[in-house]
A = this chain, B = another copy of it.
């Protein structure tokens, strides 16, 4: 295993400085030329690192002035442009994540799942339902549906740790490239209200997630329900 690319090392170096609070929100970084000389890599490499940091919203670069640590609350940084597994999402909201309830089945799925996964509508789909807890309170109820061709064995589920992306990538030679989330407001059914421990017919946030490879092939989709007052959904969008 080679050590990682230079610009990633530079990136990590700068992130490390922010974690050590040597660089704080709003602070100006040394100029590209200074960083280049101090670290001993070319200015282009510095620029590459700064560009990825900017893409991910960690720094703001201003022509003719300099590069600054983005003044955005720390907890938002994690959710900028990334796909965040639910346990990490819960953790980044300041709660202790747990997974409580698993139900695995190979069964007929809602027709919507077949459409999304481009599967023939009579194949039974592997599905798994779970309840993510935040500080032992029910927070998100999720049901995943996986495309049939994955061929996952029952024993594989022992290795499932709540990160669906990691799970399928560890088992299969594929890579999730992006996810699409569609967001709705719904009213809690009796069953959902019981599961999530909210009042009957409270409003819930429903999200339909689909994970795709770079080819655009759907790998799995999920439907999740959550109390949006307990666990906020935040989307940071950059311009340009």
A239's partner among B178, B182, B234, B239 (CB-CB below 8 A) is B178
A60's partner among B55, B182, B187, B214 (CB-CB below 8 A) is B214
Interface residues of A (CB under 8 A from B): 25-26, 55, 57, 60, 62, 68, 70-72, 76, 81-83, 165, 175-187, 201-206, 212, 214-216, 228-229, 232-239
Q: Evaluate contact between A184 and B70: CB separation under 8 angstroms.
A: no
Q: Evaluate contact between A181 and B232: CB separation under 8 angstroms.
A: no
Copies of the chain in the assembly: 2
Q: Given A70-B216, A203-B203, A236–B187 Cβ distance below 8 Å?
A: no
Question: Once the chains are docked, how many angstroms separate the CA of A182 from the CA of B60?
Answer: 22
Q: Evaluate contact between A186 and B203: CB separation under 8 angstroms.
A: yes
Q: Evaluate contact between A76 and B180: CB separation under 8 angstroms.
A: yes
Q: Evaluate contact between A228 and B183: CB separation under 8 angstroms.
A: yes
